[in-house]
Amino acid sequence: MNFEDALSKLRQTKESEDAFTASIPHQREDWVSAIEALYHEIEEAITESAQAPVPLPSNKGYANIDDGPLGQYVVPTLEISLYSEKLRFQPSGTMLVGAAGRVEMSLDRRGATKKVDFVRMVQDGKPSDIWTIRLSTGLRSAPTTQGTPEVVNRETIRNAILYLLG
C-alpha cells in the first residue's frame, strides 16, 4: 500500500463513520416506532378476548437505554394489568447479533420472574417489521413450538402470555 492508498482508505472510513452518525436519529426513531407498533399489537391481542378487562389497564412509561454506537436515548415501556398479574415490557437496544432489537416481557410471581423475548428480525441487512417470540433463556426457541421461533401474531402473543402465567 502506498501513501495515496492509505489516505484514500482513511477518507473512505471517515465518510462511512459520518454517514453512520448522520443516520443515528433515524435509527432511534425507527426502533421507537417499532416498539410502539409491537405494544399496539400486544394490546389488541389481549383485548380481543371476551375475558379481558375493559378498558385494558396499562401504564405507558419511558426508560433510558444505552444502545452502544447509537448512544443513550429514551424508549417506551409498558405495563399491562391482567387482574392481579402485571406484564412488564422493557426494550433493550438494537445492537444485537442477528437481530434488530429486543423487548423483554416479564411477569413477577411470588419472587420468581419468567421472561419471554420479542425479537425484531433483520432482513437483507436491515431491521424488518417481523418480530419473533423466544424464551429469554436462549435454550429453547419459543414457548409454543419446538424448532424455529414463532412469528409474532395475536395467537403467538396470547400463547407467550399463557406461558408466563403457567
Task: Extract the C-alpha cell encoding 124.
Answer: 437483507
The pLDDT of residue 72? 94
Domain locations in the chain as residue ranges: 3-165
Contact 44, 55 (CB under 8 A): no
d(CA 161, CA 83): 13
- What tens digit of pLDDT does each residue of 28-80 get? 999 999 999 999 999 999 999 888 888 889 999 999 999 988 899 999 999 99
> To the nearest 10°, the Cα dihedral for 60, 108, 106, 134?
-170
Percent of the chain with pLDDT over 70: 92
Q: Give the residue with greater pLDDT, 22 vs 7.
A: 7
pLDDT at 148 over 50: yes
pTM of the model: 0.83
Mean pLDDT of 85-95: 92
The pLDDT of residue 146? 46
Mean pLDDT of 124-153: 71
Q: Give the residue with greater pLDDT, 134 vs 31.
A: 31
pLDDT at 125 over 90: no
